Amino acid sequence: METKKMAKTTKKKTSITLNNYYLNIIKRELKIGRYDSINQVVMSGLRSLEKEEYKSETKRKNRIKKQKSEKNKK
């Protein structure tokens, strides 16, 4: 899997609203020391989302490619 390197860009302060379920996940991750800041927890989640989206898109493209290949064989 090719990995994209994050371009060094200007950071922008952003506000998000989370329900208690997600706030508790963040608190737990900070408490056990896995992350040092809320920002790290959120960025990790976004990286995971990006990886999953990449995998899904790759699978979708491969499925379409396979279907086209099978169609051309007929």
pLDDT computed for residue 67 by the predictor:
87
Check residues 26 and 3 and name the one with the higher pLDDT: 26
CA distances from 63 to 7, 15, 19, 53, 67 (A): 31, 38, 37, 15, 6
Is there a contact between 41 and 29 (Cβ–Cβ < 8 Å)?
Answer: yes
Stated pTM of the model: 0.68
Mean pLDDT of the chain: 89
